[in-house]
């Protein structure tokens, strides 16, 4: 398992953060994902070999829910 942390710049709503979190947790290979609205941090813990495709899928989920959010490596 590998853990990666990101900052979600422009994250605007706590409900959206919760929706992002539950959608990302459903992705194949994800062990645990958290989206913290207060700190605007997203932590993804997942299988290392699937991490890049998980990050890509997570970015699509985030853009769908809040198009203005910029995902940056923390």
Q: Which of 20, 34, 14 shows the shortest CA–CA distance to 62?
A: 20
Per-residue confidence band for 11, with pLDDT thresholds at 50, 70 and 90: very high
- Domains, the chain: 2-73 (3.30.70.100)
Q: What is the pTM of this model?
A: 0.95
3-state SS, one letter per residue, for the chain: CEEEEEEEECCCCHHHHHHHHHHHHCCCCEEEEEEECCCCEEEEEECHHHHHHHHHHHHHHHHHHCCCCEEEEC
pLDDT tens figures, 28-74: 999 999 999 999 999 999 999 999 999 999 999 999 999 999 999 98
Asked if residue 74 lies in contact with residue 5, where contact means CB atoms within 8 angstroms, the answer is yes
């Amino acid at each position: 398992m590998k853990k990666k942390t990101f900052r979600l710049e422009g994250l605007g709503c706590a409900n959206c953060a919760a929706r992002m979190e539950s959608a990302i947790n459903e992705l194949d290979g994800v062990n645990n994902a958290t989206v913290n609205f207060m700190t605007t941090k997203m932590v993804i813990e997942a299988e290392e070999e699937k991490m890049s495709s998980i990050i890509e899928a997570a970015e699509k989920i985030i853009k769908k829910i809040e198009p203005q959010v910029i995902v940056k490596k923390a």
